[in-house]
Structure 1
Amino acid sequence: MPRRRAVPTLASLCLQSLAQHMQSFWAKDYSDNYLDEYEFRFLVGPFNDLACGLVQELLRLLGTSRRLSRAALHLLLLPHLRQLSLRHCPALANNALGHLVVLRCQGLSSLDLGGCGRLSPAVLVDVAEGLPRLSRLGLAHTQANVQVLSAVGSCCRLLRELDVSGCRKVTPRALRHLGYDPLARAPGCPALRVLLARDLEPDGDAAAAVAFLLLALPRLDVLAHGAVPDALRLLHAGQLDGTADPEGFPALRELARGRGGPPLTLPLRQLEELEEDALGTGRAVCPRAEELSVWLGDGPGPAGLRELPAWECLSRLTLGCAGQRGRALAEVLPLAEALGTRLHALTLHGFSCPDPLSLPALLAGCPGLQSFSTELHVPPDPHAPAEPPTLPPRWATDLLPQGLPQLQSFSLALAGPVPAAHVPVLSSTLASVLSRAPRLQSLCLLALPFPLDSVLEPELGELQELSLAGSQVSPHTVWHLLGSEGPLRRLDLSRCPDIHRRDYDGFLQFVRRQRLDLDITWE
Structure 2
Amino acid sequence: MPLFRALDEQAEAKARPRRRDLRNSKGAGSCWRTHGDDPVHSLTRLCLLSLADNMKDLWVKDYADNYLDRYSFRYIMGPFNLLPGELVEELTWLLSTRKQLSRAALHLLLVPHLRALSLERCPGLVTPALGAQIAARCQGLRSLDLSGAQQLPPKVLCETISSLPVVRSLSLAGVPCDRSVIQTVARCCRFLQRLDVSRCHLLSPAALLPLGAVAFTPSSSSSISSSSVSSTWSPLPLSSLLALDIGFGEQEEDSTMAAAYLLLSLPFLESVALEGVGPACHLIDQRQFSQGDEFTNREGVSRLHDVWRERMLRQGTESWMKTKEGGSADDGEESEEVRSSFLEECGCESAENVIEDDLPSCLKTQTEEGKHGLSQSGLILQLRDVKGVTCESLGSLGNLCPSLTSLSMNLDKHEDIGGRSQGSLLTTNLQTWSGQLQSLSFIYSGQMVDLLPALQVSGCSLISLTLEGVKTSPHSPLLQLIRVCPRLRDLLISAEPPVTPQHQTNDNQQDDQDLPKLPYLRSLKLCFSYEHNQMKPFMSWMSLKQVIKCVLIGSPLLEKLSLISLPCPVNCVLQDTIQRANTDASHCSDSTALPPLPLGRIEHIDLLRTDVQMSTVKSMMQLSKRLKYVDVSYCWRISQREWLDCRRFRQVEVVWV
> What TM-score does the superposition give when structure 2 sets the normalisation length?
0.70
Corresponding residue number in structure 1 for 2:425: 304
Q: Superposed, which structure 2 residues align to 1:100-499 within 5 Å?
A: 100-182=133-215, 183-189=230-236, 191-202=237-248, 203-204=250-251, 205-241=254-290, 242=293, 245=297, 248-260=300-312, 262-294=377-409, 295-298=411-414, 302-306=423-427, 307-312=429-434, 313-322=436-445, 326-327=446-447, 329-354=448-473, 356=475, 358-377=477-496, 379=498, 388-389=504-505, 396-401=511-516, 403-414=517-528, 422-423=541-542, 425-457=543-575, 458=578, 459=581, 460-499=599-638
1:201 corresponds to which letter in structure 2? G
Q: Mind listing any 5+ residue stretches in structure 1 that lack a counterpart?
A: none
1:521 corresponds to which letter in structure 2? V
2:242 corresponds to which letter in structure 1? L
8 Å contact 2:256–2:275 — kept in the other structure? no
State the secondary structure of the residue aligned to 2:186: helix
Aligned residues: 501
Change (3 A) 1:317 1:479: same
- Larger relative contact order (C-alpha < 8 A, sep ≥ 6)? 1
1:168 corresponds to which letter in structure 2? H
The structure with the greater share of residues assigned to helix is: 2
2:449 corresponds to which letter in structure 1? A
1:52 corresponds to which letter in structure 2? G
| Whole-Å separation in 2 of the counterparts to 1:227 and 1:252 | 15
| Whole-Å separation in 1 of the counterparts to 2:60 and 2:81 | 16
Change (3 A) 1:506 1:218: same
Corresponding residue number in structure 1 for 2:370: none
Q: Superposed, which structure 2 residues align to 1:55-74 within 5 Å?
A: 55-63=88-96, 68-74=101-107
Q: Mind listing any 5+ residue stretches in structure 2 that lack a counterpart?
A: 1-35, 216-229, 313-358, 360-376, 416-420, 531-536, 582-598
TM-fit CA distance, 1:449: 3.3
Change (3 A) 1:196 1:485: closer
8 Å contact 1:377–1:415 — kept in the other structure? yes
8 Å contact 2:263–2:269 — kept in the other structure? yes
State the secondary structure of the residue aligned to 2:513: coil
| Whole-Å separation in 2 of the counterparts to 1:429 and 1:302 | 25
Q: Note if 1:18 corresponds to 2:18.
A: no
Change (3 A) 1:338 1:418: farther
8 Å contact 1:153–1:181 — kept in the other structure? no
Could you tell which deviates more after superposition, 279-288 or 213-222?
279-288
Q: Encode CA deviations 1:470-500: one digit per residue, 9 max, x unaligned.
A: 1122233223223324422221211112112
TM-fit CA distance, 1:181: 4.2
2:494 corresponds to which letter in structure 1? E
Q: Encode CA deviations 1:278-299: one digit per residue, 9 max, x unaligned.
A: 3222222323222222214235
| Whole-Å separation in 2 of the counterparts to 1:67 and 1:357 | 45
Change (3 A) 1:483 1:391: farther
Q: Percent identity?
A: 33
Change (3 A) 1:114 1:380: closer
TM-fit CA distance, 1:350: 3.3
8 Å contact 1:115–1:140 — kept in the other structure? yes
| Whole-Å separation in 2 of the counterparts to 1:218 and 1:197 | 17
Could you tell which deviates more after superposition, 67-76 or 122-131?
67-76
TM-fit CA distance, 1:161: 1.0
Change (3 A) 1:22 1:125: same
| Whole-Å separation in 2 of the counterparts to 1:346 and 1:412 | 12
8 Å contact 1:399–1:432 — kept in the other structure? no
| Whole-Å separation in 1 of the counterparts to 2:304 and 2:616 | 62
Q: Note if 1:517 corresponds to 2:632.
A: no
8 Å contact 2:141–2:164 — kept in the other structure? yes
| Whole-Å separation in 2 of the counterparts to 1:168 and 1:357 | 38
Could you tell which deviates more after superposition, 21-30 or 2-11?
2-11
Q: Encode CA deviations 1:327-361: one digit per residue, 9 max, x unaligned.
A: 2x333333333224201111223334445372111
| Whole-Å separation in 2 of the counterparts to 1:89 and 1:445 | 28
Change (3 A) 1:448 1:399: farther
8 Å contact 1:5–1:517 — kept in the other structure? no
8 Å contact 1:236–1:285 — kept in the other structure? yes
| Whole-Å separation in 1 of the counterparts to 2:459 and 2:600 | 26
Change (3 A) 1:465 1:255: same
> What TM-score does the superposition give when structure 1 sets the normalisation length?
0.86
Q: Please identify the structure whose Cα radius of gyration is greater.
A: 2
Corresponding residue number in structure 1 for 2:126: 93
| Whole-Å separation in 2 of the counterparts to 1:296 and 1:27 | 55
Change (3 A) 1:320 1:124: closer
1:107 corresponds to which letter in structure 2? G
Change (3 A) 1:492 1:249: same
State the secondary structure of the residue aligned to 2:423: coil
Give RMSD over aligned pairs: 3.0
| Whole-Å separation in 2 of the counterparts to 1:351 and 1:11 | 44
| Whole-Å separation in 2 of the counterparts to 1:478 and 1:93 | 38
Change (3 A) 1:443 1:59: closer
State the secondary structure of the residue aligned to 2:177: coil
Corresponding residue number in structure 2 for 1:48: 81
